[in-house]
Amino acid sequence: MNDQILMEKAQASLGNKILALTNPAPRRIFLKVAPENLLETVGWLKNEIGFTHLSTISGVDLGQTFEVLYHFANDFTCLTLRTEIPRENPLLPSICELIPGAILYERELQDMFGIVVQNIPDGRPLVLPDGWPAGNYPLRKDWKYKRPPEVIPGGNK
């Protein structure tokens, strides 16, 4: 299946749920949907088109919103499914029911951006150390690194 056929199928099946659909390079497709259409779109990509490999999920802090990108790949193309959520009360549904391997990436979104992933099977912190201060999300633009006090072993007693 080439890019053009995939885009035509997406347009026919998803219709007005598509906010943007572009083909910036051969074997590269960007598809944008609203968060409320995310699960339906992932289900369609998996069941109708055969995208079962999720390469990663990445996030971008755009200031007033977060953009979340789901990077899918198969034998014929790479497709990035994009959705945008508000910075205030950032919620997304978990796609783990459809793509079980998404759990690690969804846990990372929670740790690094503070995005709440609803119905995630295991929402424990993944990449941040135990005791990490609540409300500190390192990949947000407004996060400031505070260097911990230096401890010199055997120093002043």
pLDDT in tens, 134-156: 889 999 998 887 777 787 887 66
Exposure string of 75-102, with b = 16+ CB inside 10 Å and e = fewer, is eebbbbbbbbbebeebebbbbbeebeeb
**What per-residue confidence (pLDDT) applies to 157?**
56
Give the separation between CA 52 and CA 90, rounded to whole angstroms: 26
Q: What is the pLDDT of residue 38?
A: 98
Provide the greatest CA pair distance for the chain: 73
Tens digit of pLDDT for each residue in 58-110?
999 999 999 999 999 988 899 999 999 999 999 999 999 999 999 999 999 99
50: left (phi over 0), alpha (psi -120 to 50) or beta: left
> CB under 8 Å to 71, separation ≥6 — which residues?
54, 55, 56, 57, 58, 78, 79, 80
Domain ranges in the chain are: 3-118
Superfamily of domain 3-118: NADH:ubiquinone oxidoreductase Nqo5 subunit (3.30.460.80)
DSSP letters for 11-31:
HHHHGGGEEEEEEEETTEEEE
